[in-house]
C-alpha cells in the first residue's frame, strides 16, 4: 500500500514512519519542516518526501497513493490560540481541501488525526465516540469541523477514518515539552519540582506517542468495512488520570523532586475522560505497549542520557509556539506562517 503521510517530521510522525516501514508500507512524507531545528535525540528516518505547506498541496502530490494519513497542522492549544484565523486556515480548510483532492484523484483511505479534545469541557463521565462535541479551544474546534466536513465526503470510493487521540506523551526524536506528562517530568528532572499550573483536578486520557502510531497502522490494515467513516478514541480506558495523579507518579519516579503548584494555579476548563473500548474491540492489530508510569520512566532515563537542561526545556527549541514566534521574530516566517524565502518542494 502506498501511503502519503503528512506531518511526517513532527512529534507523532517521526515515531510513525518506522512503524509503517516495518509493516511494509511504501511511505511518502509531506511536511513544511518548520521544526527542522528541533530534533531532540535519535534519527529522523529518511524516506521520499515533499517539503511543502499543507495549504499548498496539489493533485500531483496526492495522486498515486492508496491512503493518506493526515497529521500535519498546528498541533496544540497554544499554537491554535496564537491566531484562530490561522488555525482555521491551516487545520480546518487545509485538511478539508486535502480530503477533497483525495476524492478527485482516487485515494481510497483517508485517516485523519483528530483528538479527544473534541469533547472539551465534559466533566468526569467516560465518553464514548457518540458523545457530544464540546471543544473549548480553536484547536479543538478545528478538529470537530474537519470531522463534520470530511464525513460528508464518504462514499463507496472514499473511506475516511477519524482517530481521536488521547493526550500524547513519551519520547520522540521531535519531542514536545508542552504535553502534560513530558512537561511535568522535564520540570522534575531539571528543577526538582513537579510544577502544576492548574489545581490538578482535571481529568485527561493519556496515550504514548508510539501507541498512537500503532493505531494508524491498525487502521490501515483493517478491512474497510470496519473503519469506513468511523471515529475511534485512541488510548486505553484505564489510562485516564487526574493531573495531580500524574504529578504524584512523576514524584515517585524522578529522585529528589516534589509537587509544587504555581501561585495562580486554578481549575482548568479542559476536563474529560474517554472510553477506548471501541478501538480495542474493532482494530485487533492495535496492541498498546505503554502505560503512563512506563512512559515517565522512559522520559526520565532519556533526560539523564541526553543531559536535559532547564535552558533546553524552557527555551524555544522544543516548545512549538515559542519556536514559531522565534522564527517570526528572526524573519524566517511571516505572520501567516509562510517562509519568507520558501524552500523548493523536493523529493529524496
CA separation for the pair 250, 266 (Å, rounded): 20
**Residues 316-328: tens digit of each pLDDT:** 888 888 899 999 9
**Residues 181-191: tens digit of each pLDDT:** 999 999 999 99
Q: How many residues comprise the chain?
A: 348
In 3-state terms, what secondary structure has residue 46? Answer: coil
Rg (CA), the chain: 19
**Domains in the chain: ranges and CATH:** 2-329 (3.40.50.720)
Residue 41 near residue 298, CB atoms below 8 Å? no
CA separation for the pair 209, 7 (Å, rounded): 14
CA separation for the pair 72, 52 (Å, rounded): 11
Q: Whose CA is closest to 314, among 166, 189, 223, 142?
A: 189
Question: How many other CB atoms sit within 10 Å of the CB of residue 167?
Answer: 23
Residue 88 reports pLDDT greater than 80: yes
Q: State what percent of residues in the chain have pLDDT above 90.
A: 79
**Residues 67-81: tens digit of each pLDDT:** 999 999 998 767 767
The pTM (predicted TM-score) of the whole model is 0.94
Segment 106-121 shows an average pLDDT of 94
Distances (CA, A) of 344 to 28, 30, 60, 136, 327: 17, 13, 15, 37, 18
Residue 10, Cα to own-chain centre: how many angstroms? 8
C-alpha cell belonging to residue 200 = 490538578
Amino acid at each position: 500500500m502506498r501511503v502519503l503521510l503528512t506531518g511526517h517530521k513532527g512529534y507523532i510522525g517521526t515515531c510513525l514512519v518506522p512503524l509503517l516501514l516495518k509493516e511494509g508500507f511504501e511511505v511518502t512524507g509531506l511536511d513544511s519542516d518548520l521544526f527542522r531545528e528541533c530534533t531532540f535525540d535519535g534519527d529522523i528516518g529518511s524516506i521520499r518526501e515533499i517539503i511543502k505547506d499543507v495549504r499548498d498541496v496539489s493533485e500531483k502530490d496526492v495522486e498515486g497513493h492508496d491512503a493518506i494519513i493526515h497529521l500535519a497542522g498546528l498541533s496544540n492549544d497554544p499554537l491554535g490560540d496564537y491566531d484562530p484565523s490561522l488555525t482555521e486556515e491551516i487545520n480546518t480548510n487545509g485538511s478539508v481541501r486535502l480530503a477533497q483532492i483525495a476524492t478527485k484523484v482516487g485515494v481510497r483511505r483517508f485517516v485523519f488525526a483528530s483528538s479527544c479534545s473534541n469533547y472539551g469541557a465534559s466533566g468526569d463521565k467516560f465518553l464514548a465516540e457518540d458523545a457530544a462535541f464540546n471543544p473549548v479551544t480553536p484547536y479543538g474546534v478545528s478538529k470537530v469541523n474537519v470531522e463534520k466536513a470530511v464525513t460528508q465526503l464518504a462514499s463507496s470510493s472514499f473511506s475516511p477514518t477519524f482517530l481521536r487521540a488521547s493526550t500524547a506523551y513519551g519520547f520522540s526524536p521531535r519531542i514536545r515539552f508542552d504535553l502534560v506528562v513530558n512537561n511535568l517530568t522535564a520540570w522534575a528532572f531539571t528543577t526538582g519540582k513537579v510544577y502544576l499550573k492548574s489545581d490538578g483536578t482535571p481529568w485527561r486520557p493519556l496515550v504514548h506517542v508510539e501507541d498512537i502510531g500503532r493505531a494508524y497502522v491498525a487502521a490501515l490494515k483493517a478491512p474497510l468495512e470496519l473503519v469506513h467513516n468511523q471515529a475511534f478514541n485512541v488510548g486505553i480506558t484505564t489510562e485516564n488520570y487526574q493531573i495531580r495523579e500524574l504529578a504524584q507518579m512523576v514524584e515517585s519516579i524522578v529522585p529528589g523532586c516534589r509537587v509544587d503548584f504555581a501561585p495562580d494555579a486554578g481549575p482548568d476548563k479542559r476536563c474529560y475522560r474517554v472510553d477506548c473500548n471501541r478501538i480495542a474491540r474493532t482494530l485487533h492489530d492495535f496492541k498498546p505497549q505503554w502505560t503512563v508510569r512506563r512512559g515517565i520512566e522512559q522520559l526520565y532515563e532519556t533526560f539523564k542520557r541526553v543531559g536535559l537542561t532547564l535552558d533546553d526545556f524552557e527555551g524555544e527549541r522544543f516548545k512549538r509556539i515559542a519556536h514559531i514566534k522565534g522564527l517570526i521574530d528572526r524573519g524566517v516566517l511571516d505572520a501567516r506562517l509562510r517562509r519568507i524565502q520558501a524552500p523548493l518542494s523536493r523529493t529524496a
